[in-house]
């Protein structure tokens, strides 16, 4: 792996130089929204007509709902077909919606393709694992008046945003994954992108009493994938597991930290809005469930989820000998902004 690892490190140094040029994220709802519209417009203006044709779709196009998190052919404009300046602007758009934490994870997930390619001993000209195969798509016309949305997607990353009258009204589905979950070899040995998601999950699990575990653990075997997959609308019959009121104050604190960890991938205002929505629906309606191994490690598949009437968070580490993590956040009432859009169209004359 030495020769290929050297090539990998050279690519990482180059791409980190490009990403390091990005402007810092902003706070404040109005400023953040204005900056997001402007960032999208500037990105589109940097593209050639041919690139615009690849990147831009009607807001009503069904492609907006065609999301996934596996290596596959995608629509949109990939990083590999952008020049350095266009990449800067594409990544700046991503920074307008993610926090420093979330942006760092997204960038690390892209970079992990280089490491995975080396671990799989793929030849240099093989593009199956490719950090440049992350696609940017704009849906509709980015303005402060019109409904519009955008997506960045590739292997183990799918982030979807929708906006109405300058306000981000949906930031889900949001998928982040990592293969390997913990890098087993090479210069990046030990690297673990989604480390806190695992550690806090186990901390919460281990805090429960034997009696509580009878309710928390819903299956001895972990599912082989997040249960909701890439469905357009996440559907689970009903929440299962241990309810928030059944936890001790100390356990509730850990649970809240785990929930906030996922929300904190977004810019502060977006994270706050989703948290307020969860709290309005009632923390007493929140559930925590676990399946699979109660201990981490190779060959010990495990899964957990946070579930309420308005939000679903899934974490699964079962594939590749339990060294392959998938996580997702779903807004059960407003993925892709569909709930907010229905209200909007009832009040305005926009064409769907």
Predicted confidence (pLDDT) per residue in 166-206, tens digit: 789 999 999 999 999 999 999 999 999 999 999 999 999 99
Tokens of 38: 């402007």
Check pLDDT > 50 for residue 7. no
Q: Which DSSP string do the residues of 211-279 spell out, in sequence order? A: HHHHHHEEESS--SS-TTTT-SS---SS--SEEGGGS-HHHHHHHHHHHHHHHTTB-HHHHHHHHHHHH
Predicted confidence (pLDDT) per residue in 58-78, tens digit: 999 999 999 999 999 999 999
Pick the residue with more confidence: 339 or 305?
Answer: 305
> What is the spatial distance between Cα 218 and Cα 241, in angstroms, rounded to a whole number?
7
Do the beta carbons of residue 36 and residue 96 sit within 8 Å?
A: yes
Check pLDDT > 70 for residue 43. yes
The pLDDT of residue 33 = 62
> What is the spatial distance between Cα 352 and Cα 147, in angstroms, rounded to a whole number?
9
Do the beta carbons of residue 269 and residue 180 sit within 8 Å?
A: no
The pLDDT of residue 20 = 41
Do the beta carbons of residue 259 and residue 276 sit within 8 Å?
A: no
Check pLDDT > 80 for residue 122. yes
Tokens of 266: 């977004």
| Residue among 329, 332, 333, 328 at smallest CA distance from 343 | 333
Residue 189 C-beta-side C-alpha neighbours within 13 Å: 5
The pLDDT of residue 307 = 98
Check pLDDT > 90 for residue 349. no
The pLDDT of residue 18 = 40
> What is the spatial distance between Cα 325 and Cα 179, in angstroms, rounded to a whole number?
7
* Confidence class for position 9, pLDDT limits 50, 70, 90: very low
Classified as helix, coil or strand, 135 is: strand
> What is the spatial distance between Cα 313 and Cα 348, in angstroms, rounded to a whole number?
33
The pLDDT of residue 27 = 41
Tokens of 317: 């580490």
Predicted confidence (pLDDT) per residue in 281-294, tens digit: 999 999 999 999 99
Check pLDDT > 60 for residue 162. yes
Predicted confidence (pLDDT) per residue in 224-258, tens digit: 999 999 999 998 888 999 999 999 999 999 999 99
Cis ω before 173 (30° cut-off from 0): yes
> What is the spatial distance between Cα 88 and Cα 266, in angstroms, rounded to a whole number?
19
Predicted confidence (pLDDT) per residue in 327-337, tens digit: 999 999 999 99
* Confidence class for position 267, pLDDT limits 50, 70, 90: very high
Do the beta carbons of residue 127 and residue 133 sit within 8 Å?
A: yes
Do the beta carbons of residue 160 and residue 172 sit within 8 Å?
A: yes
Mean pLDDT estimate for the chain: 90
* Confidence class for position 31, pLDDT limits 50, 70, 90: low
Which phi-psi region, left, alpha or beta, contains residue 282 (left: φ > 0; alpha: ψ -120 to 50)? Answer: left
**Which of 6-10, 275-279, 310-314 shows the lowest mean pLDDT across its residues?**
6-10
Check pLDDT > 60 for residue 313. yes
Do the beta carbons of residue 166 and residue 33 sit within 8 Å?
A: yes
Helix (H) or strand (E) holding 174: strand 174-178
The pLDDT of residue 341 = 72
> What is the spatial distance between Cα 78 and Cα 132, in angstroms, rounded to a whole number?
7
């Amino acid at each position: 792996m030495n020769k290929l690892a050297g090539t990998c490190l050279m690519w990482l140094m180059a791409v980190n130089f490009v990403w390091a040029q990005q402007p810092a994220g902003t706070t404040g709802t109005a400023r953040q929204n204005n900056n997001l519209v402007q960032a999208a417009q500037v990105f589109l203006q940097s593209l050639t007509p041919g690139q615009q044709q690849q990147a831009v779709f009607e807001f009503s196009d069904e492609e907006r709902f065609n999301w996934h998190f596996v290596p596959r052919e995608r629509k949109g404009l990939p990083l590999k077909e952008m020049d350095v300046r266009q990449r800067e602007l594409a990544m700046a758009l991503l920074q307008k919606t993610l926090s420093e934490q979330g942006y760092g994870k997204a960038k690390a997930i892209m970079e992990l393709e280089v490491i995975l390619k080396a671990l799989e001993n793929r030849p240099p000209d093989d593009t199956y694992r490719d950090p440049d195969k992350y696609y940017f798509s704009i849906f509709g016309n980015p303005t402060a008046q019109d409904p519009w949305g955008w997506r960045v997607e590739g292997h183990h990353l799918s982030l979807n945003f929708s906006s109405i009258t300058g306000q981000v009204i949906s930031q889900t589905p949001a998928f982040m994954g990592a293969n390997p979950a913990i890098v087993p070899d090479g210069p990046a040995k030990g690297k673990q992108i989604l480390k806190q998601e695992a550690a806090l999950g186990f901390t919460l699990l281990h805090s429960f009493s034997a009696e509580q575990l009878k309710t928390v653990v819903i299956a001895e075997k972990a599912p082989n994938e997040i249960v909701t997959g890439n469905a357009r609308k996440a559907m689970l019959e009903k929440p299962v597991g241990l309810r928030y009121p059944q936890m001790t104050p100390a356990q509730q604190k850990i649970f809240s930290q785990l929930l906030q960890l996922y929300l904190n991938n977004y810019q502060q205002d977006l994270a706050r809005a989703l948290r307020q929505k969860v709290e309005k629906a009632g923390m007493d309606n929140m559930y925590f469930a676990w399946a699979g191994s109660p201990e981490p490690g190779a060959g010990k598949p495990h899964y957990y989820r946070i579930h309420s009437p308005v939000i679903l968070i899934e974490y699964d580490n079962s594939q590749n000998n339990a060294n392959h993590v998938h996580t997702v956040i779903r807004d059960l009432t407003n993925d892709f902004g569909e709930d907010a859009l229905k209200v909007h169209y009832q009040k305005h004359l926009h064409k769907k």
